[in-house]
Amino acid sequence: MSSGAGALEQPGARRWASGALGVAAVLIALTALLTATRGSDTVSQALTPAPPPPPPAPVALISVQSGATEPINPMTPISIAVQQGTLRNVTVTDTNTGKKLDGTLAPDSASWQTKNPLSYGDTYQVAVTAVGTDTKVVQQSGSVSTLKPALQAYPSFIPAPSQNNVGVGQPLVVKFDHPVTDKAAAEKALVVTTSPQQTGSWYWISPSEAHYRPQVYWQPNSTITLAANMFGVDLGKGTFGQTNRTETIHIHDSWVAKADGKSETMQIFQNGNLVNTMPISLGSPGHPSHSGPHVISDKQPSIIMDSCSYGVCQGQKGYYKEKVDLDERISNDGEFVHSAPWSTGQQGDSNVSHGCVNLSPQNARWFFDHLGVGDVVEITNSGGPPLPIFDTYGDWEPSWEQWQAGSALK
């Protein structure tokens, strides 16, 4: 009985055992879940690489006259630049003079360049200090050379800067002491400004001489400035402009004398108004005066006129050599307006001179006192050929279209 009774389970005991088994199963499941989760983290962490260390800060890179492999034009500034840093100090020294050159630093301190033009055929020593973004100081030195021209062409002016008050017919003349091959380059460097504004153009008389005139005579009381920005300009075949020059001239009242070989009179106009008329004698049929506009290029109280200057020398027919007063040159071919007391009987009647405009002493004095360099003498009905453009100031003989065709920039 007792063994049978012992074999029987009590209902409460079965319930406790069943609950215990359920709790144990949950605990085992939770443990397995936690173990699995920790194992996954461990594998993930083992497979992810560590981030690389940051790169070092860049070192400053300095360049001197980047891209220049040959001597530079002296108008090209010496330039310094830095990448990945800033410039701390730049020194450029002229090795010929020992002088340090002034320069301009950019606002970001990343570049620097010289302020003023350099010299021909010179060498400049450069020393640069910069600080990189790595805070390290970098130093660099070098040299820059400038080209050496085979020839240097100097631009002289007519009228000269001292002759700064001229008439309405005065052309601007630039004469170079060496021929110019690249006329276009030279012409671009010749800058004319006028007040009031007037249209004008250059004409090359020869490879070394260029003239500038407006379309019509200058306006009275104009101001004209000529700038020859020639330094550093390549004029061709190894010739460069020697220097820059500037002049300013004033145009006074308009004085235009109209000499008529038919009426044998000369009318003189001031600013378009007739102010005097006087009898004249022009060149004889054997020595006719050139026709067309002439410009007074010089005036002298007296000169010695010698026919040998144009080939009629002592012992030949027509030779003369004598002192002549109140002379105003109107061409290089020996034509003047001057006093001629020996021909007063022919003045107003016939042409008997060797090409000059003959006046009585009284009229010559008036003319000499009122007209001067740059004023105009227009000769008509003389029987002579037009004044050649190359004869001092034959500039007004060509038409405006012909004149413009003489420009290298046409």
Query: Could you list the active site residues?
Result: 338, 356
Grouping H, G, I as helix, E, B as strand and the rest as coil, residue 265 is strand
E runs forming strands in 154-198: 155-158, 165-166, 172-176, 190-195
- 243, 230 Cβ separation under 8 angstroms: yes
The whole-angstrom separation of Cα 16 and Cα 39 is 35
- 202, 408 Cβ separation under 8 angstroms: yes
Using alpha carbons only, what angle is made at residue 398 by residues 397 and 403, rounded to the nearest 5 degrees?
135
The whole-angstrom separation of Cα 9 and Cα 7 is 7
Grouping H, G, I as helix, E, B as strand and the rest as coil, residue 52 is coil
**Where does residue 325 rank: exposed (0-12), middle (13-18), buried (19+ CB within 10 A)?**
middle
Q: Comparing C-alpha atoms, which of 251, 189, 265 is closest to residue 222?
A: 251
- 203, 224 Cβ separation under 8 angstroms: no
- Name the β-bridge partners of 327: 300
Q: At 396, list the tokens.
A: 């007004």
Place of tokens 């709790």: 23
